[in-house]
Amino acid sequence: MRRWAMLLASLVGLAASAMGADAPRGTVVCVHGFLRSRANHWAVAAKLRPTWRVVNWAYPSRARTIEGHAAALVVELRRQAAAHPGEPIHFVTHSLGGLILRAALNRPDCPPEARQGRAVLMAPPNRGAIVARRLVSIAPVRWVFGRYAGQQLMTTPTDGFARLGEFPPTVEVLVIAGRAGCNPLIPGPDDGKVAVAETPLATPHAFATLRAGHSWLAWSPTALRMTRDFLALPHSPALPVVAR
């Protein structure tokens, strides 16, 4: 009987060790772009779920301003922080999602866990979006973009999104820009909707360009691999600048 008890205890210990080895490294919150849904990050979620706990957060992009979406995102971040206190929260964003994240991280009610992780920003219009500004005079386009976040994209000048605040120095960031577009409304290399020159941050960050279009970035095998590898890196105070 004692031998069976010892064997059972050993099996329980092995199971616990196995569960610990397979436990998620942390939480990754995905934030999609304008006029999109959580389907935008299905490939990202599938790539990361074997290693991380993934929250594919969705929001009605035409219904609020960037700041309004940021307030809603903070509600979700506080929920995740309460469920996993002290555990860093990481992020993967696409397009407008990067601006929403910036605004959220600068809100006073944002939990500290969200300022301790890493962030991958795909095709973020960090310096604005010239193509949106050039379409503002077309009434049907204005209707599609709506009165809130879409209008902000169409009316905010170059570097006007600096008002949202910068990423905290404790958050390491990788920006991935696409350069497979050929939009005549955009000067220089672009992904069809955002210029490569519009994607960098004013603060230190890693940077990469890929031969991919705006929408394809969130599905690109190379972008997915870079995202996974960046989130898995150990903390390093000096981020490299990379290009592809």
* pLDDT tens, residue by residue, 170-191: 999 999 999 999 999 999 999 9
Q: In the predicted model, what is the mean pLDDT of the chain?
A: 88
In the predicted structure, residue 237 carries a pLDDT above the cut 50:
no
Distance (Å, rounded) from C-alpha 120 to C-alpha 160?
21
Residue 126: pLDDT band (50, 70, 90) is very high
In the predicted structure, residue 16 carries a pLDDT above the cut 90:
no
Q: Which residues touch 19 (CB under 8 Å, ≥6 apart)?
A: none
Distance (Å, rounded) from C-alpha 39 to C-alpha 21?
29
| Cα–Cα distance list, 93 to 1, 38, 55, 81, 161 (Å) | 56, 11, 12, 19, 16
β-sheet bridge partners, residue 58: none
Q: Which CATH fold topology does 27-232 show?
A: Rossmann fold (3.40.50)
Residue for token digits 């809130």? 148
In the predicted structure, residue 210 carries a pLDDT above the cut 80:
yes
In the predicted structure, residue 1 carries a pLDDT above the cut 80:
no
* pLDDT tens, residue by residue, 64-116: 999 999 999 999 999 999 999 999 999 999 999 999 999 999 999 999 999 99
What confidence score (pLDDT) does residue 40 get? 93
pTM of the model: 0.87
